[in-house]
């Protein structure tokens, strides 16, 4: 089973226009609202690939029932703890004439002080194979045996109020139990996790450059891969994928496609990659599956999917 973790839940509003005129009223009849965020997107694609996946997050505020209802509609299994923090909205503006995808992101509210301990308790219960039975579990009781995570995927940023140690601690605990770890994170969270030797790190090119304050070179990526015994995959939108696997370095091309909505493509890639690796694929084959899922996502209006339910 996959456990996906994201500490910054999102409701995603997608608005489609032929074009947008500044300083004017712009109206559209083509719009949608989806439960989203990097971890939800990964979970949704894994589920559509036929994999068992449970998502762990924090929730609070007036939009919590809506968030959970949308998860249920998408057939997503979700574990959560109460944070008393309003769920943020993010907005995607799609303009057909110029093909632009513009993302407007709300910063999160701070979670309450007890949220971190509650979340770590639930995380430990899941990775320790302890059945969780509570109002904050959407996994049917008949399937509690599914709560046996063997691969953890941690994605995205964390909401305000969490400590700098929470994500590295999660990685450390999972690695101590021999679990696979895939990280799609950036900044200090990523750097502090490296010492625990995650199996795969997958920031995009901009995130990697911001994290390490330099553009990656072949020598640098091989050095990091060898030092921390991790595979590195750097995506860069529609440009080539760069990967390092110990002594090996790869550059993999991206075939051009006509995109509808690119939001969630990186998350779909992560899900496809993780699913293929769990099936025993080598890194190159897994990257190809990630590419396939990312391309499918790009062709659909809804973010973080490879097919409509």
Give residue-wise pLDDT tens across range 139-180. Answer: 543 344 344 679 999 999 999 999 999 999 999 999 999 999
**106-123 pLDDT, tens per residue?**
999 999 999 999 999 999
Q: Which long-range contacts (CB under 8 A, 24 or more apart) does 289-292 make?
A: 290/233, 291/241, 291/252, 291/254
**Contact of 170 with 5, CB cutoff 8 Å:** yes
Domain with residue 187: its CATH number is 3.40.1190.20
**37-76 pLDDT, tens per residue?**
999 999 999 999 999 999 999 999 999 999 999 999 999 9
Look up tokens 């109020």; give the residue.
161
Tell me, what's the pLDDT at 238?
A: 84
Domain assignment of residue 67, yes or no: yes
Tell me, what's the pLDDT at 47?
A: 97
Domain assignment of residue 36, yes or no: yes
What total of structural domains would you count in the chain?
1
The pTM of the whole model exceeds 0.85: yes
Domain assignment of residue 303, yes or no: no
Domain assignment of residue 309, yes or no: no
Domain assignment of residue 261, yes or no: yes
Domain assignment of residue 305, yes or no: no
Domain assignment of residue 128, yes or no: yes
Distance separating alpha carbons of residues 73 and 77, to the nearest angstrom: 11
For the chain, percent of residues with pLDDT exceeding 70: 94
**Contact of 91 with 15, CB cutoff 8 Å:** yes
b/e for 281-293, b at 16 or more Cβ within 10 A? eebeebbbbbbeb
In the numeric block, which tokens belong to residue 223? 């050095």
The pLDDT-based confidence of 296 (bands split at 50, 70, 90) is very high
Distance separating alpha carbons of residues 202 and 146, to the nearest angstrom: 26
SS (H, E, C) the chain: CEEEECCCCEEEEEEEECCCCCCCCCCCCCEEEEEECHHHHHHHHHHHCCCCEEEEEEECCCCHHHHHHHHHHCCCEEEEEECCCCCEEEEEEEECCCCEEEEEECCCCCCCCCHHHHHHHHHHHHHCCCCCCCCCECCCHHHHHHCCCCEEEEECCCCCCCCCCHHHHHHHHHHHCCCEEEEECCHHHHHHHHHHCCCEECCEHHHHHHHHCCCCCHHHHHHHHHHHCCEEEEECCCCCEEEEECCEEEEECCCCCCCCCCCCHHHHHHHHHHHHHHCCCCHHHHHHHHHHHHHHHHCCCCCCCCCCC
Angle between helices 115-127 and 166-176 (to 10 degrees): 20
Q: Which domain holds residue 13?
A: 2-22+30-298
CA-based nearest residue to 200, from 165, 220, 175, 225: 225
Over range 256-281, report the average pLDDT. 96
Specify burial of residue 215 (Cβ count, 10 A radius: 0-12, 13-18, 19+): exposed
Q: Radius of gyration (Cα) for the chain, nearest Å?
A: 19
**Contact of 265 with 18, CB cutoff 8 Å:** no
**213-262 pLDDT, tens per residue?**
999 999 999 999 999 999 999 999 888 999 999 999 999 999 988 899 99
Domain assignment of residue 304, yes or no: no
Over range 81-85, report the average pLDDT. 98
């Amino acid at each position: 089973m996959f456990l996906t973790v994201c500490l910054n839940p999102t409701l995603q509003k997608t608005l489609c226009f032929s074009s947008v005129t500044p300083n004017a009223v712009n109206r559209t009849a083509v719009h949608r609202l989806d439960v989203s965020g990097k971890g939800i997107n990964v979970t949704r694609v894994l589920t559509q690939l036929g994999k068992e996946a449970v998502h762990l997050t924090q929730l609070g505020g007036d939009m919590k029932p809506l968030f959970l209802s949308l998860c249920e509609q998408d057939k997503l299994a979700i574990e959560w703890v109460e944070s008393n923090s309003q769920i943020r909205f993010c907005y995607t503006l799609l303009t057909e004439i110029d093909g632009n995808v513009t993302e407007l992101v709300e910063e999160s509210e701070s979670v309450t002080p007890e949220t971190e301990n509650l979340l770590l308790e639930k995380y430990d219960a899941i990775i320790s194979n302890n059945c969780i039975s509570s109002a904050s579990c959407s996994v049917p009781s008949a399937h509690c045996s599914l709560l046996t995570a063997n691969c953890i995927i941690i994605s995205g940023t964390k909401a305000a109020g969490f400590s700098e140690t929470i994500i590295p601690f999660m990685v450390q605990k999972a690695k101590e139990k021999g679990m696979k770890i895939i990280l799609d994170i950036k900044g200090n969270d990523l750097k502090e996790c490296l010492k625990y030797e995650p199996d795969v790190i997958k920031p995009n090119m901009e995130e990697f450059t911001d994290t390490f304050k330099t553009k990656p070179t072949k020598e640098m990526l091989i050095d990091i891969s060898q030092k921390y015994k991790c595979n590195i995959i750097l995506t860069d939108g529609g440009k080539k994928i760069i990967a390092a696997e110990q002594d090996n370095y790869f550059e993999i091309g991206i075939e051009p496609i006509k995109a509808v909505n690119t939001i969630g493509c990186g998350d779909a890639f992560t899900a496809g990659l993780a699913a293929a690796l769990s099936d025993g694929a080598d890194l190159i084959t897994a990257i190809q599956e990630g590419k396939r899922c990312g391309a499918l996502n790009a062709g659909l209006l809804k973010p973080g999917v490879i097919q409509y339910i």
